[in-house]
Amino acid sequence: MRTDPRTLDELPTPSLVVERSLFDANVAAMAAAWPGSSLRPHVKAFKSSAIARILAAAGHEGFCAATVREMEGLAAAGLGHDLLLANEVLDASRLGRLVDAGHRVTVAVDSDATVAAAAAGGVREVLVDVNVGLARCGCDPSDAGRLADTARAAGLEVRGVMGYEGHLMMVDADAKAAGVKASMELLIQAHSEVGGDVVSGGGTGTFAVNRWVTELQAGSYCLLDTDYARLDSPFEIAVSVLATVISVTGGRWAVADAGLKAFGMDHGPPSWPGGEVMFVSDEHTTLLDPDRTLAVGDRVRLLPGHLDPTVARHQCFWVVDGDDVIDRWPIDLRHW
């Protein structure tokens, strides 16, 4: 009869592993800076209703998401108190069904077409998404007031505005402070034309300097990755991919059984705290091991460069306390 793994050595590889003590410290650090409803955790980073429940218990009961599937999963998990799809959609019918089921659903709009889609799909509340410098979604700040009027004429309640300064997450501190100020001035000016109680935006990379928003959309902070770890912040990397060394026969390297299919690589390859990653292929990561410190069967922890797409490649987090496996959190909010 199969039993759940009790130690790291019993986990199949590759496995996505969370160090619970570091996770808890990250959650506490963000809650101290952005308590209660001032933080709207973004589930796109971790895609797990189990993590969302922990954040709700810490006082953050409203969530934002990037996909309809994430919204549906949160609602099914009993976390539909206040859900924001921080993204545009042209078919809002699945969101409308959540509204009909009694969940509070808000969707971002940045055009007449997305306003019409929200109304046709049965969504009742929107935020006007404003472009504050990132070359992605968002209306021109000067058009925000008109778009809000269009939404109200369509029978929608306009809760306020949102704007994401994603282009500033990884810049140096001085440029970040100035850039966030300039971006948020655009958002606040748009808000003066739009109205409503909500100014939503920001993220893990700007949590310390964005004090213009009424709610911060951060999600990566609770697990982190090597890209965000380059910043000066109180958060630490709590997640890793556990892999097994399967070959040391080639020379001054060792090969582990986690590759491109286990990591999001758009922010660079994973890191190995024990040394250097040479390259990553489909099912393998090759580690530089000139002193032959690794043997076949050894376990290594590889740190992802980009959290969100790494999480989307796995079915669960294995939660550990040192070498002990203490929990399993399903990654149940994947897909679209």
* 124-166 pLDDT, tens digit each: 999 999 999 999 999 999 999 999 999 999 999 999 999 999 9
Residues 297-331 pLDDT 10s: 999 999 999 999 999 999 999 999 999 999 999 99
Question: In sequence order, what are the residues at sequence separation of 6 or more whose Cβ sits closer than 8 angstroms to the Cβ of residue 203?
Answer: 42, 164, 165, 166, 169, 216, 217, 218, 219, 220
CATH superfamily of 8-15+235-330: D-serine dehydratase-like domain (2.40.37.20)
Three-state DSSP string of 200-231: EECCHHHCCCCCCCCEECCCHHHCCCHHHHCC
Q: What is the CATH architecture assignment of 20-220?
A: Alpha-Beta Barrel (3.20)
Domain with CATH 2.40.37.20 in the chain: 8-15+235-330
Question: Residue 203 and residue 190: Cα distance in Å, rounded?
Answer: 20
Would you state the pLDDT for residue 105?
98
What is residue 251's predicted lDDT score, i.e. its pLDDT? Answer: 81
Q: Can you give the pLDDT at residue 2? A: 56
> To which residue do tokens 């021109």 refer?
140
Can you tell me the mean pLDDT for 40-47? 98
* Residues ≥6 apart with Cβ < 8 Å to 186: 130, 132, 133, 141, 163
pLDDT at residue number 1? 46
What is the distance between the alpha carbons of residues 173 and 176, in angstroms, rounded to a whole number? 5
101 to each of 34, 62, 215, 325, how far by Cα in Å? 30, 17, 25, 37
Q: Is the pLDDT of residue 61 over 70?
A: yes
CATH 3.20.20.10 residue window(s) in the chain = 20-220
Average predicted confidence (pLDDT) for the chain: 97
pTM across the whole model:
0.96
For the cut 50, the answer to whether the pLDDT of residue 276 exceeds it is yes
Of the chain, the percentage scoring pLDDT greater than 90 comes to 97
Contacts of 247 (CB under 8 A, 6+ apart): 254, 255, 296
